[in-house]
Amino acid sequence: MGDLLGVAVLGAGHMGADHIRRVDQVVSGARVVAVADPDTDRAKEAVAGLDAVTVHEDAVAALDAAGVEAVLIASPGPAHEEALLAAFARGLPVLCEKPMVPDSTGALRVVEAEARLGRRLAQIGFMRRYDAEYQRLKSLLDSGQLGRPLMLHCTHRNVSSPPYFTSAMLIDSSVSHEIDAARWLLGQELTAVTVLSPRSSANAPEGLLDPQLVLFETDGGALVDVEVFVNCGFGYQVRCEAVCESGSARIGDDHTMVVTTRGSTHEDVPLDYLVRFADAYDREVQSWVDATRQGLVTGPSVWDGYASSAVAEAGVRALDSGGRVAVELAPRPDLYGNVSR
Ligand SMILES: NC(=O)C1=CN([C@@H]2O[C@H](COP(=O)(O)OP(=O)(O)OC[C@H]3O[C@@H](n4cnc5c(N)ncnc54)[C@H](O)[C@@H]3O)[C@@H](O)[C@H]2O)C=CC1
Ligand SMILES: O=C1[C@@H](O)[C@H](O)[C@@H](O)[C@H](O)[C@H]1O
């Protein structure tokens, strides 16, 4: 490894371009050496001004480019499995955006491929685990000061959804974050899902079931409810309140300045995740680079990616059927220890 970890970024869209900027300008210890996107103009635009970066139409070709020592996958979810397996075949460490692989069968193939290697190579991009507010909530719950957690009430609102968004993606793309956060905060697996949807908002694209109310049960006897509303129009709002036996704790309102002038109080609301979770993405990628340079893999594992996909898949079935759907998880390979903590 040279002085700087050579990173290939796959996908130069909204997230990929932001991660390219982050690796180039924010994070220490790494540099972008290759970028792949079938839309090569988009890739070229994302690397404009960077030195010595090769641009590729094909993701797998980028992994074989000169200087590549690690891979950051920011292509759409359905492209992740092929990229992860190609990285594993080359022994390359990976940071893969969520959802790891949207369908649980493909996600399990990734778990099995890494387990066959006998060592972890991939970290999954559940960046909320790197957010200061989520970390404070996790420490408080772990301390036991509030007693046993009974319920998590979560809100996940986006101003608008991308044009390709489907009713299933509210669950397997958006709520995938709450699924991971709940497993991590509670140290419990989610075991069953029920989904209800009210009349769709007039602001939602025709046919999109938006908002939805998703209710999870856990193997520790807790309940987790999530309001997901991806065309709310008014702001990016992500909140979580833990209700425990002897107290409650709420996060999600603490990241902005509150200005009071005569007779009114004003608070800015972020408009998207790149603003709300900017620090979390920075910490996530820095932590991945630091660990990779030491030959370590930390952070959410491919098992966490698989569990999130399996729970989300049950959620999509619950949405379609209107009933309660149990989550079926495959046996967890020893490589991944206990429930994500
Ligand atoms: N952690 C987070 O908060 C967020 C994560 N994401 C995740 O990031 C990933 C990318 O999402 P966006 O950037 O919003 O999508 P996007 O649609 O803006 O960009 C995706 C890019 O990937 C390219 N692409 C398509 N197939 C490819 C392949 N096989 N190899 C390489 N590039 C390919 C497309 O041409 C496009 O430029 C998704 O997995 C998404 O769920 C997205 C937004 C926020
Ligand atoms: O991951 C993300 C997007 O893919 C998803 O579409 C949004 O709903 C989330 O807020 C964002 O964090």
Tell me the DSSP string of 54-85: EEESSHHHHHTSTT--EEEE-S-GGGHHHHHH
132 contact partners, CB below 8 Å, separation of at least 6: 279, 280
Ligand 1 center to 14 CA (angstroms): 7
Give the residues across from 241 on adjacent strands.
Answer: 153, 250
Pocket of ligand 1 (CB under 6 A): 10-16, 36-39, 42, 59, 74-77, 79, 97-98, 125, 127, 173, 273
Fold of 5-128+279-300: Rossmann fold (3.40.50)
pLDDT of residue 300: 98
- Mean pLDDT rounded to a whole number for the chain: 96
Q: How far is CA 38 from the centre of its chain?
A: 23
pLDDT per residue, tens digit, the chain (341 aa), is 669 999 999 999 999 999 999 999 999 999 999 999 999 999 999 999 999 899 999 999 999 999 999 999 999 999 999 999 999 999 999 999 999 999 999 999 999 999 999 999 999 999 999 999 999 999 999 999 999 999 999 999 999 999 999 999 999 999 999 999 999 999 999 999 999 999 999 999 999 999 999 999 999 999 999 999 999 999 999 999 999 999 999 999 876 788 899 999 998 889 999 999 999 999 999 999 999 999 999 999 999 999 999 999 999 999 999 999 999 999 999 999 865 55
- Indicate whether residue 308 lines ligand 2 (CB < 6 A): no
Phi and psi dihedrals of 170, rounded to 5?
A: -55, -35
The pLDDT assigned to 338 comes to 66
Nearest residue CA, atom 1 of ligand 2?
174
Phi first, then psi: what are they for 37, rounded to 5°? -160, 130
Helix axes 14-21, 278-293, angle to 10 degrees: 60
Identical fold for domains 5-128+279-300 and 132-275+306-336, yes or no, is: no
The closest alpha carbon to 67, from 133, 5, 130, belongs to 5
CB–CB of 305/121 below 8 Å?
Answer: no
| Beta-carbon-side half-sphere exposure of residue 312 (alpha carbons within 13 Å) | 29
pLDDT for the residue numbered 1? 64
Atom of ligand 1 nearest to the CA of 82: 29
Query: Is 302 strand, coil or helix?
Result: helix
At residue 211, the pLDDT reads 98
pLDDT digits (tens, 9 = 90+) for 102-134: 999 999 999 999 999 999 999 999 999 999 999
Predicted TM-score (pTM) of this structure? 0.96
Protein residue with least CA distance to atom 43, ligand 1: 15
Ligand 2 contact, 232 CB (< 6 A): no
Q: What is the pLDDT of residue 340?
A: 55
Q: What is the pLDDT of residues 249-301, one digit of tens each?
A: 999 987 678 889 999 999 888 999 999 999 999 999 999 999 999 999 999 99
- Assign domain 132-275+306-336 to its CATH architecture: 2-Layer Sandwich (3.30)
- Beta-bridge mates of residue 5: 30
Best of 9, 10, 15 for a ligand 1 pocket test (most atoms within 8 Å of beta carbon): 15
Domain ranges within the chain, ordered by starting residue: 5-128+279-300, 132-275+306-336
For CA atoms 247, 250, 256, 262, the dihedral sign is negative
pLDDT reported for residue 255: 66
Q: Whose CA is nearest to atom 9 of ligand 2?
A: 174
185 and 137 Cβ atoms separated by less than 8 Å: yes
